[in-house]
Structure 1
């Protein structure tokens, strides 16, 4: 492997350096793990990403084989939203939470683990806005990433109402927040 001497286009924060990716693939590092390592090390070099993979990801893969992850969407039932509105708000929550994960280097790996273990998603019910905020605070106290949708009020509900809370993390930890809620 040649360190940084090969000219390659400057990657954006979401892209991987294809030259480095190929070098990692030649080391028999799985493509998704190689991409994750490059993103985590900010595409500095193939060597840096390889060291990250062999020192961190490989060990975690062995440790995390039995760990499941899930994303939960908690609907504010006090708003009496129709099915279409709920679906739209859950979509906003999913995209918002995933963007939040991608924007935080320590959470990118969580997103990758959630995605690589089946991308489990569950929709549940909260009583009202206060309930959503309590759940969000509890999730934050457990260091679980969240995203709370605040509707713009363009249709069906008043502006600035909180419609859906999205939470992601290890299933057992997420269950500590949402395990007693009813499914939608």
Structure 2
């Protein structure tokens, strides 16, 4: 009991988060401490806590250096693993600012949709943590973007197609950008032959 006569409740780490952290090369004790200190909020919060607090505190301990090397290797692998690609409809001849706004719509639209549905949640979490790799590519026209969109749907790869509201530069309903998310191979199966914008 504490001073308020409430019984102590032993902290229980989220088992799924704990396993994820350990699989990344983080020691079980550091993983548990990170989950405790972040209130079991998320894997990302725990990883941030580990790298910000625990590894720096013990950086002269050889076992920590080894764990750091494992984590760094994990970082390199994960950083290459997932990406989001954006295919811009170049036939619309949008200005630079318009393209930037439409790519932002495509990114946020797909991100929100995936967060709401829980689709590929672990992959999205890794992508969030490891730098959110993004690439912007040239699409030929509306038909081209729709063809890529349908191909992604057939392969069950998360995708999002932006139709403009028509307030500036282009007519309402114009298909401006396609966003596609997944691991490198999945995304490249859809957009791998396209040129950079």
TM range (shorter): 0.5 to 0.7
Listed one character per residue, the Cα deviations across residues 24-44 of structure 1 (whole Å, up to 9, x for unaligned) are 388335588x4347xxxxxxx
Contact (CA 8 Å) 1:125, 1:182: kept in 2 or not?
A: yes
Residue in structure 1 matched with residue 125 of structure 2 by the alignment:
112
Residue in structure 2 matched with residue 10 of structure 1 by the alignment:
none
Paired with 2:119 and 2:163, the residues of 1 have a C-alpha distance of: 25
RMSD value, Cα = 3.0
Residue in structure 1 matched with residue 99 of structure 2 by the alignment:
86
Distance change >3 Å, CA 83–CA 64, structure 1 → 2 = closer
2:112 equivalent to 1:99 = yes
Residue in structure 2 matched with residue 146 of structure 1 by the alignment:
159
Contact (CA 8 Å) 2:164, 2:173: kept in 1 or not?
A: yes
Q: Which of the residues 41, 46, 51 maps onto 1:35? A: 41
1:54-65 equivalent positions in 2, closer than 5 A: none
TM-score by length of 2: 0.63
Number of residue pairs aligned between Structure 1 and Structure 2: 141
Which runs of 5 or more structure 1 residues have no equivalent in the other structure? 1-5, 7-18, 38-60
Range that drifts further, 105-114 or 117-126: 105-114
Distance change >3 Å, CA 24–CA 65, structure 1 → 2 = farther
Paired with 1:176 and 1:64, the residues of 2 have a C-alpha distance of: 24
Relative to its length, the structure with more helix (as a share) is 2
TM-score by length of 1: 0.67
Distance change >3 Å, CA 173–CA 64, structure 1 → 2 = farther
How many Å apart are 1:66 and its aligned residue? 3.3
2:80 equivalent to 1:74 = no
How many Å apart are 1:148 and its aligned residue? 0.6
Paired with 1:79 and 1:106, the residues of 2 have a C-alpha distance of: 31
